[in-house]
Amino acid sequence: MNLIVGLGNPGKQYQQSRHNVGFQVVDRLAGISHIPISAKRFRTLLGTGTIDSQEVILAKPMTFMNQSGEAVRKAAFFFHTEMEDLIVIHDDMDLPFGRLRFRRRGGDGGHQGVRSIIDSMGGGDFIRVKVGIGRPSKGVDPAEYVLASFDEMERSQLNEILSRAAEALTVMLTEGMAAAMNRYQRRGGTKS
């Protein structure tokens, strides 16, 4: 059973921030799959259900980003999730806005939430689905940039990006990671 974790920060003030795009993708996936995310356990909001006959747990840690690992570790232990069945969705400043990238394992890439999960899980052999948020303009503090809301142009495209990311996750679960990469990881984030 896959544990699909969207990363973000709790609280209304962060709800629409770039750093919360992981939460937003999980919410979109929950909506199209009719999986309510309403259970509270391990400082995490959880929902269980099926996506095209694949049993999944959707999770949104309610810790702050840099403490996500402890919540993820507890959920993974409780649901007997193997490292290779853990999927983490998060923002990535090194990708152009809206672009998706899939990685089976690796380091944290400077992302505090991913670093916390690697530290708590004792390794990085889990799948990452990265959603590009682009780099801040020169002179803008990256920490402020990720905590700020998407700008008007980005907001006009966000709905499509969230739907595409949820669709890509569904393909990954049902057809495999290679199929999702081939269809959704192309330049500019468009699918074939």
Residues labelled as active-site residues: 19
Query: Comparing C-alpha atoms, which of 105, 90, 97, 73 is closest to residue 156?
Result: 97
Element (H, E) at 179: helix 177-184
Given a contact cutoff of 8 angstroms between Cβ atoms, the answer to whether 180 and 102 are in contact is yes
Given a contact cutoff of 8 angstroms between Cβ atoms, the answer to whether 52 and 24 are in contact is no
Q: Give 135's DSSP letter.
A: P
